[in-house]
Amino acid sequence: MITAKTTIKDLHVEERKWLYTAIWKVVVVDKHVSAEEFEDLREAMNWVRQEEMEELEKQAVEKYSLCPLEPLPRLSFEKAFLMINEVIRVATEDRELLISEQELIEHFARLLGFTDDPSHELILGWAQKMLELEIQKEALAHRLKPFFSAPKS
């Protein structure tokens, strides 16, 4: 069962490194990094220990792409779900979901254990819903802004 208690902190070091790499790839695949995506990347960097982070950054700078990701053995469904959901959240935060991002999401889904087409349809359907929510959230903020006044102390 997926609960709010399953968090990134519950991931092992290798799983966090895998997730950081996946997020890095989905952020840079469209050749445009939004402010929101940049913040997500900075947050993801905190998941990895300093010495491991230095190696990941070195690979990123040298290759503009981190090493290919491999399947994670013995990954639980809860962790796999958390990880693919986090990748989707980052991919849709800029209110775009390009074909290249969708292809990466499908690739990551396979590596995480979601291996058949019906699961990919569900995952991409969820990505579309998250994209729509991001667009609606931005519209709501725009509509609410004129009504906001900072509380006075």
d(CA 57, CA 85): 24
pTM: 0.73
pLDDT in tens, 39-52: 776 676 666 655 56
End-to-end CA, the chain: 44
CA distances from 27 to 85, 86, 87, 120 (A): 14, 12, 9, 20
d(CA 61, CA 24): 12
Residue 58, burial from CB neighbour count under 10 angstroms (0-12, 13-18, 19+)? exposed
d(CA 106, CA 29): 14
pLDDT given at position 78:
92
pLDDT given at position 131:
94
pLDDT given at position 30:
73
Mean pLDDT of 9-34: 80
Split at pLDDT 50, 70, 90, the class of 64 is: very low
pLDDT in tens, 84-143: 999 999 899 888 899 999 999 999 999 999 998 899 999 999 999 999 999 999 999 999
Mean pLDDT of 17-43: 76
* Domain residue ranges in the chain: 11-145
Handedness of CA 27, 29, 31, 32 (dihedral sign): negative
